[in-house]
Amino acid sequence: MTSVEMKFFVVALVSCSLATAGYLLSLVVKKVRLAKISTWILAAGFIGLTLNLFWGGIHSEGWSSFGSRYFLSIYAWVIACIYLGLQFRTKTRTLGAFIAPCILMFLIAAAGQETDKNLVPPQWQGWLTSLHLALAIAGEGLFVLASAAGAMFLIQNRLLKHKKPGPLGRLLPSLGDLDRINHLGLLWGFPLLTVGIIGGVIYAVFVWGGQWLADPKVLWSLAIWMVNGFLLHQRLAIGWKGSRMAALSFAGLIVFLCSALLIRFCLATVHNFI
Amino acid sequence: MIVLVGLNHKTAPLAVREKLFAGCREQENFLADLLGIDGVREILYLFTCNRVELLASIDETPETMKMLRSFLARFGGLTAEEEASCLYVYHDDAAIKHLFRVTSSLDSMVMGEAQILGQVKEAYRQALAQNATGIALNRLMHRAFRTAKRVRTETAIAANPVSVSFAAVELAKKIFGTLDGKKTLVIGAGEMAELTCTHLVGNGAEDVTVANRSQAQAEMLAEKYRGKAVSLTSLDAELCEADIVISSTGAPSYVVTGDMVRRCLRKRKNRLLFLIDIAVPRDIDPAVDGIENVYLYNIDHLQDIVDENMKNRRREGLKAEQIVVEEVVQYVSWLKELEAVPTIVSLRSKAETIVRTELEKASGWMDQMENGNREKVEALVNGIVNKILHAPVTVMKEESADFDSQSIVAAARQLFRLDD
């Protein structure tokens, strides 16, 4: 990583840390202004991360320099991009209290990774792999957003059902907005992940033969895809909305994170990304 | 001297307020009459349903204060007893503080209400139009508006609704985000339901349906919101369509039951439903609240929220009082400085007269000076005079801002023989 690239990464990391602290503090002191300021700080971090990735992209030596740091940074970038984009349409500033820690987690993980560690073996490199990676990351990023909105929905729902909206209830976004974000997350995340997985499958069939089917990460991704596909189906066809969708999406995120950690540390996988 | 005479909802019963309000309103040239009182320099009056107040800058005589008081009592037709028990008179710091509290809505019946600021602004606008205010009241009023703005932005005094109908609107916003396009079903044509519906429609809700036992009444209310009137028998179908339901019938049993809501869940595709039950006895079965994505609030729930918000307002009121005190101190300091201003002006004008006279005396030999030297000498003389005056002027300003200005002003007038 060049020194300029490193500076941009530090800007992103520091901004995201400050934004996370600001968002969490806004929930504690119950001031939405703090959450608004944190959104601007997060936007600054997003610009830093964009420049970091852009700089890395124009100075890259192709696949050989595409390491885990970039993979995790792109993950953080996608989530931040979607969240900030949503801020133009909905007044859901405090949702950042759930989203910013996720972004920060990916950035911290990225900071600990070597940049020159070759992520994708030379024989697997190609446009289909790029498509597979980009779409899978974007799809999963959207699922994270949908789940975060779901978690916040559950809190707001509880406050309203117990007839005690209070200062926290006033601070959190409305149920309608949170349900809409959950809907959008699933609606866009599912097709992106679907195309991403299909891209990966086509590639794997030709390059690896049958061995990829037994890969734990493939099975895990398939499970996530099926769970979210089921949720989207129930939403669109059956009309599931509100608290049930929120609870299931949030449960999906917990399973997603737990299985990601399990696979990373306990099982061998050809998707050795994180 | 700033003086404030008046009465409000805390000191006078409604009958007295009405009498005074009507009596003063009927007077033509009210401000001109007030300005005609001996010793009144500037004046404005504030009439609202809860208060009648006169604010004036007057010469420091107890007679003027008494005359203002009796003026108000006379026009209001108050008895001597009412005058003694209801009217209050504040002067200087107390009057300024009272005005700032009134403008910031700390003295209102509902603390934090927004109307009073507009009413005070209107009173000031009227006084301005009739040239009834001058430097002291102009500055005072701007300071009062500034205080009100600070109170609104630096405290949460007006943040949360303190009426049942507004609390319902806030809840609806917390559930739906925006009320634009939300369908409202009003069951019963009670006053409270109508008020709540008006607030909801004012915030974007549309497509109002009124269901009532009396079709005529339903039609009358529906017409007001350009909605439709239906009979209570079609409630099942209407429930499937509505987003917000307000119920306030006089029915002895539940009008909306759990089964009715459950039946239409599938048809509603689980859309969020907000039910407001403001009837006593209740119209909506409490079991409805247990249904997913359905939120039921009855009159007690709404009143609890209002009470909690009132408590918060009172807490914020303490912060606001602190702001008022700060602003009063700043204004009083400026006002005291103002007392020294005529003396400073006299001192400067005396010095200028001396300089001019002496330069004229010296014009004979100064005319022989070469080009530009005369101007240089004049600038030098002016510079010396300004330097000499700088210290006494500064001390007078500072002393008068911090302490009583009378002694220092008197000393300056004597030292420089300003009264000769």
Strand pairing class (B206-211; B228-230): parallel
CB–CB contact A175 B266 (8 Å):
no
Find the mean pLDDT for residues A115-139.
70
CB–CB contact B270 A241 (8 Å):
yes
Q: What is the DSSP letter of B283?
A: S
Q: What is the pLDDT of residues A224-248, one digit of tens each?
A: 888 889 999 988 888 888 899 999 9
Residues of A in contact with B302 (CB under 8 A): none
CB–CB contact A242 B305 (8 Å):
no
Residue B65 half-sphere exposure toward CB, CA atoms < 13 A: 15
The alpha carbon of residue A239 is apart from the nearest alpha carbon of chain B, in Å, by: 5
The alpha carbon of residue B249 is apart from the nearest alpha carbon of chain A, in Å, by: 23
Percent of chain A with pLDDT over 90: 28
- Alpha-carbon dihedral B58, B64, B69, B74, rounded to 10 degrees: -120
pLDDT at site A21: 94
The ipTM (two decimal places) reads 0.80
Q: What is the DSSP letter of A238?
A: I
Numbered ranges of CATH 3.40.50.720 in chain B:
164-306
Burial of B338 (0-12, 13-18, 19+ CB in 10 A): middle
The alpha carbon of residue B269 is apart from the nearest alpha carbon of chain A, in Å, by: 5
Interface of B with A in 173-212 (CB under 8 A): 173-178
Residues of B in contact with A179 (CB under 8 A): 272
CATH match for B164-306 among 3.40.50.800, 3.40.50.720, 3.20.19.10, 3.40.800.10: 3.40.50.720
Residue B288 near chain A (CB below 8 Å): no
Residue A89 near chain B (CB below 8 Å): no
Residue A239 near chain B (CB below 8 Å): yes
Q: How far apart are CA B419 and CA B397, in angstroms?
A: 19
Burial of B180 (0-12, 13-18, 19+ CB in 10 A): exposed
Under the banding of pLDDT at 50, 70 and 90, the label for residue A262 is confident
Residues of B in contact with A161 (CB under 8 A): 289, 295
Q: Among B232, B13, B235, B173, which Cα is nearest to A176's?
A: B173
Numbered ranges of CATH 3.30.460.30 in chain B:
2-158
Per-residue confidence in pLDDT tens, chain B, 420 aa? 889 999 999 898 888 888 887 777 677 678 888 888 888 999 999 988 888 899 999 887 778 888 888 888 888 788 888 888 889 999 888 999 999 999 999 998 888 888 899 999 999 999 999 999 988 899 899 999 999 999 999 998 888 888 888 899 999 999 998 899 899 999 987 788 888 888 898 888 888 999 988 888 888 888 888 899 998 888 999 999 999 999 988 888 899 999 999 998 888 888 999 999 988 889 999 999 999 999 999 999 999 999 988 898 999 999 999 999 999 998 887 777 777 888 888 888 999 999 999 988 888 888 777 777 888 888 899 999 999 989 888 888 877 766 666 677 778 888 888 876
Under the banding of pLDDT at 50, 70 and 90, the label for residue A274 is very low
Residues of B in contact with A180 (CB under 8 A): 177
Which is more confident, A213 or A99? A99
Q: Which of B24, B49, B86, B264 is catalytic?
A: B49
Chain pair A-B, CB pairs under 8 angstroms: 58
Residues of A in contact with B304 (CB under 8 A): 163
Which is more confident, B53 or A67? B53
CB–CB contact A173 B301 (8 Å):
no
What are the angstrom distances between the C-alpha of A60 and each of A48, A120, B377, B385?
18, 14, 77, 75
Residue of chain B minimizing CA distance to A171:
B174
Percent of chain A with pLDDT over 70: 85
Interface of A with B in 179-208 (CB under 8 A): 179-180
Interface of B with A in 208-267 (CB under 8 A): 266
Element (H, E) at B246: strand B244-247
B49 carries an active-site annotation: yes
Nearest CB neighbour to B292, from listed A163, A173, A244:
A244
Residue B304 near chain A (CB below 8 Å): yes
Token readout for B4 is: 């404030």
Instruction: For chain A, list the domains and their CATH numbers.
Output: 1-115 (1.20.120), 120-274 (no CATH)
Residues of A in contact with B288 (CB under 8 A): none
Find the mean pLDDT for residues A30-53.
91
pLDDT at site B326: 94
Residue B308 near chain A (CB below 8 Å): yes
CB atoms < 10 A from the CB of B69, how many?
A: 18
Residue B315 near chain A (CB below 8 Å): no
b/e string for B286-325 if b means 16 or more Cβ within 10 A? eebbeeebbbbbbbebbeebbebbeebbeebbeebbebbe
Residue of chain A minimizing CA distance to B297:
A163
pLDDT at site B18: 82
Residue A124 near chain B (CB below 8 Å): no
Give me the CATH code for the B2-158 domain, please: 3.30.460.30
